[in-house]
Amino acid sequence: MAHHHHGTIAPGPPREGEARRLSATLVLALLATVVEGVGGWAAHSLALLSDAGHMLADAGAIALSLIALGIAGRPADARRTYGYYRLEILAALLNGAVLIAIAVGIVFEAWQRLRNPHPVNVRVVLLLALIGIALNAAGMWLTHARDSSMNLRSTFLHLAGDLLNSVGVLASAAIIAWTGRLEADPIISFLIAGTIVWSAIRLCREAVDVLLEGVPAHLDFSEVNQALGEVPGVAAVHDLHVWTITSGLIALSCHIVVSCEGPQCRSHDEILTDARQVLRDKFRIEHTTIQFESESYQHDDVVH
Q: Is the pLDDT at 273 greater than 70, yes or no? A: yes
What is the average pLDDT score of the chain?
A: 80
For residue range 80-115, what is the model confidence (pLDDT) as tens digits? 777 777 777 887 788 788 888 888 888 887 888 788
Q: Which long-range contacts (CB under 8 A, 24 or more apart) does 223-231 make?
A: 223/283, 224/252, 224/279, 224/283, 224/285, 227/278, 227/279, 227/282, 227/283, 228/254, 228/256, 228/275, 228/278, 228/279, 231/271, 231/274, 231/275, 231/278
Q: Is the pLDDT at 298 greater than 50, yes or no? A: no
Q: State what percent of residues in the chain have pLDDT above 70.
A: 86
Domain 216-294 has CATH 3.30.70.1350: yes
For residue range 146-170, what is the model confidence (pLDDT) as tens digits? 655 666 776 777 777 778 778 888 8
User: What residue segments make up the domains of the chain, in order of their start?
Assistant: 16-211, 216-294
The secondary structure of 181-193 as a DSSP string is -TTHHHHHHHHHH
Query: What superfamily in CATH does domain 16-211 come from?
Result: Cation efflux protein transmembrane domain (1.20.1510.10)
Average pLDDT over every residue of 272-291: 91
- HSE on the CB side for 170, CA within 13 Å? 14
